[in-house]
Amino acid sequence: MDIDIDVGNRKEILKHFKHINASIISDNNIVPHNTGVYFQDIPVDEDTRLSSIDYRVAEKLNFFKIDFLNFSVYQDIKDNDHLYKLENMEPDWNILNDEENVVKLPHIHNHYNLVKKFKPCNIHELAALLALIRPGKSHLRNLDKDEIMKRIWDRNDLNKDGYFFKKSHAYAYAKTIIICMNKIKLGEL
């Protein structure tokens, strides 16, 4: 199981909870996992204070890692009502026609040419665009939008060795882009 929690300030949140940072062990070197923590007792390396079990092995041993991801979009959210408003407004999809706006948006800021070609006009297409950006689905980029939408979530239609977005991740990230699009619409970004 993979749980990611987006937060405005990872360090601020984690200082309130006893936890052990996850690790990656490669060639007998132990390094911190970028975002993973354990809230359960897991063996700890005395020198690094990291989990002494690589996160991939720990999962097989039924340890439960949670990834806390810094996500700056949340830093300017005033309260729950503000967030609810931003995520539930219908965005102005024309915002994606302007490169100056696209460069302000998370995840797609470096992909204006693909955004311009694909022209997403709803959350489903925006999620598909996010999947299309990843190497596992990049082979679909030259197809027409209808064909891309038919094939984008097919796990058997992947580039070899290319990572891809799970559908749930793509939709979650699409929602954050919509929040930012609505911040642009309201003059907040």
Taking only the tens place, the pLDDT of each residue in 104-118 is 999 999 999 999 999
**Same domain, residue pair 64 and 123:** no
Instruction: Write down the pTM of the prediction.
Output: 0.73
Whole-number Å distance between alpha carbons of 183 and 91 = 9
Helix (H, G, I), strand (E, B) or coil at 142: coil
Give the domain extent around 145.
Answer: 76-185
Neighbours of 102 (CB within 10 A): 22
**Same domain, residue pair 105 and 165:** yes
pLDDT 10s digits, 28-82: 899 999 999 999 999 999 999 999 999 999 999 999 999 998 887 887 888 899 9
Whole-number Å distance between alpha carbons of 105 and 96 = 9
Q: How many domains are there within the chain?
A: 2
Neighbours of 107 (CB within 10 A): 17
Whole-number Å distance between alpha carbons of 182 and 178 = 6
**Same domain, residue pair 23 and 93:** no
**Same domain, residue pair 104 and 145:** yes
**Same domain, residue pair 88 and 149:** yes
Q: What's the chain's average pLDDT? A: 93
